[in-house]
Structure 1
């Protein structure tokens, strides 16, 4: 049992495993959402965006499969990163081709659906903590956002002066 408002938390830290079909369906949905975002964010054709996103999706599929079936406890995101690194090594015969397909993809635009989902995916535990913290949490959040903004502006100002 957790001490936060008597909310039960699993002690074995296991996460229920999602079926491969569901994971691949969600990957397909994320890719479909990313396509129009790429067309808005970057001046590329539908074909270029689809090719780049397709390569990234295939890297994700490979990472998901490796994470699922290789008996090494590494999360799929690490496998996806390793596949991406291996496929884009400059000394491999396929590296420049893969880089050519994905270099026009705007990775910030890929983050938009993820951040939107993270913003709305609030658990009951988080709501209880918010209710318990009340206005104090709002004050801390304002200071954190303000401090982050000021620090970013100072760093940007300094870097612009350097360059």
Structure 2
């Protein structure tokens, strides 16, 4: 079994597992994050009724922190994943006592996390690659039965845990 390690002929829009994040195209990600921010504002508006103009400063803060974290992941001489840099920056700018932290928290409070996460999770669930379709074709009808059992088990398990938690707390 030989693995082709020559990635020069293949361009990836997202870093693959094991690929060095320090080679990502920051300009490309700025545009993608801008699109995601607009979708996030719309989903926040639909889910919570919060006017997009009043949520815009909070979304702008999230956008700037994300871009800054990507820049740190790209240019800092030691490696940390971009999600770690973004999280670290977000934590730092919201620490009580840091100048401007109260303002940042007040602006970001206009955003609902679930409203922002829903489109991202939906995309993640729908983003199937050619490899996943090939696996499904090779597995045939058996994988459909396994998938149904997994989904049913997950749903029933979640319902049972929720029922127990509600009975204990009620």
Interval containing the TM-score (normalised by the shorter chain): 0.7 to 0.9
Contact 1:35-1:53 within 8 A present in 2 as well: yes
RMSD across aligned C-alpha pairs, in angstroms? Answer: 2.2
Task: Establish whether residue 46 from structure 1 lines up as the match of residue 46 from structure 2.
Answer: no
Q: Give the paired residue count.
A: 158
Does structure 2 retain, via aligned residues, the 8 Å contact 1:67–1:76?
yes
How many Å separate the matches in 2 of 1:117 and 1:48?
A: 26
Q: Could you state the TM-score of these two structures normalised by the residue count of structure 2?
A: 0.82
Residues 1-163 of structure 1 aligned to structure 2 (within 5 Å): 1=1, 10=5, 13-14=18-19, 17-163=23-169
How far does the alpha carbon of each residue in 1:31-86 deviate from its partner, in whole angstroms, 9 at most, with x for none? 11111111111132222211111111111011011011012221111111111111
Superposed displacement of residue 145, structure 1: 1.0
Normalising by structure 1, report the TM-score. Answer: 0.85
Cα distance in 1 between the residues matched to 2:39 and 2:137: 34
For structure 1, the residue ranges without an aligned partner over 5 or more in a row are 3-7
Q: Which runs of 5+ in 2 are unaligned?
A: 8-17
